[in-house]
Amino acid sequence: MTTTVDKAAPLQKPELVSTDQPPLKKQRTVSDLNQVDQLKQLTTVVADTGDVNAIKKFSPQDATTNPSLIYKAAVMPEYASIVDNAVAYGKGDLSVTMDKLAVAFGTEISKIVPGYVSTEVDARLSFDTEGTINKARDLIKMYDEVGVSKDRILIKIAATWEGIQAAKQLEKEGITCNLTLLFSIAQAIACAEVGCTLISPFVGRIMDFYKKAKGVDGFAPSEDPGVVSVTAIYNYYKKYGYKTIVMGASFRNKEEILELAGCDRLTISPALLQELTNASADVQQKLDAAKAVNMDIPKIDMTESVFRWMMNEDAMATQKLAEGIRGFAKDIKKLEDIVKAKISAKFD
């Protein structure tokens, strides 16, 4: 290194500088960021879990839960007090206790994330419009009791025709909804046309169906049927100016997630969030609302008969919707068995 000395100035002993000092801090570029942080620049990242501690780790904007995730969290020792408090609140009433349990987890999550928390209606009400409406009102009332505003909560409802009609009424009442178990453009259009706040189109479960149907081990990310489905829904919404938020869900690998960079929201499991955190390759925007506006996409006029016919013609969507409802109902029953035992121990 060459040092230039000003001869007009008196010589001064140079300060010793440790070579162990870190270099001057420079502004971070995209390549310095892990893939979660890069993704957050393109998409709102949501945590798909009922595990409060996992949510704290990744600092997402929103969080989603479902009966399967609540069941997994409820059997973890660190959340035993939440279950016990719900049992005490329910005073022996199983239905009230189950609702309180979902709300209790949602309340804890709402203290961590700044945005929406999704709480799911009992899947066994998926074909009961009035039952879904009443259950949603009960959940919102419970949130209000503990000071959580309804504008922080998305009521999660299966995207059956009956569920979509329930969401139509709830949205009119100012209760925002997340329509889930969504596998087709028919479901997506029906949700948008009734003004649903958000939809959760599934990716991985669609891929599962086509892997089995085609007898293949997997697909290139851009050709993944689940990715193709969500991309088509996103482009349709942006083409026709729908305000409903598209939140891709149910991912099997991080490549599916990256292929949907630019989607309004993506809800991601803690395991895949960790994989993205550990990776630093550049994340490129894949979905672009501005480009979708100019795409040649035919408009579909959605009615109940059109909806039912389109679902009838889509074996994958019909099968996966029914399968998903059965799966959530099964996990509700498993959770109920745990809660029943605690109710019996406390009140019998």
**Enzyme catalytic residues:** 156
Place of tokens 């506006």: 293
Closest alpha carbon to 316 in 208, 193, 191: 208
Q: Are 164 and 178 in contact (CB under 8 A)?
A: no
The residue type found at 244 is T
Report phi then psi at 256, rounded to 5. Answer: -60, -40
Q: Are 102 and 83 in contact (CB under 8 A)?
A: no
Contacts of residue 344, Cβ cutoff 8 Å, sequence gap at least 6: none
d(C-alpha 111, C-alpha 274), whole Å: 22
CA distances from 43 to 114, 261, 291 (A): 15, 6, 16
> C-alpha angle 108/109/112, rounded to 5°?
105
CA distances from 177 to 65, 168, 197 (A): 13, 9, 6
Q: Are 62 and 117 in contact (CB under 8 A)?
A: yes
What would the two tokens of residue 207 be? 């891929």
Torsion sign over Cα 90, 94, 99, 104:
positive
Closest alpha carbon to 165 in 186, 142, 195, 137: 195
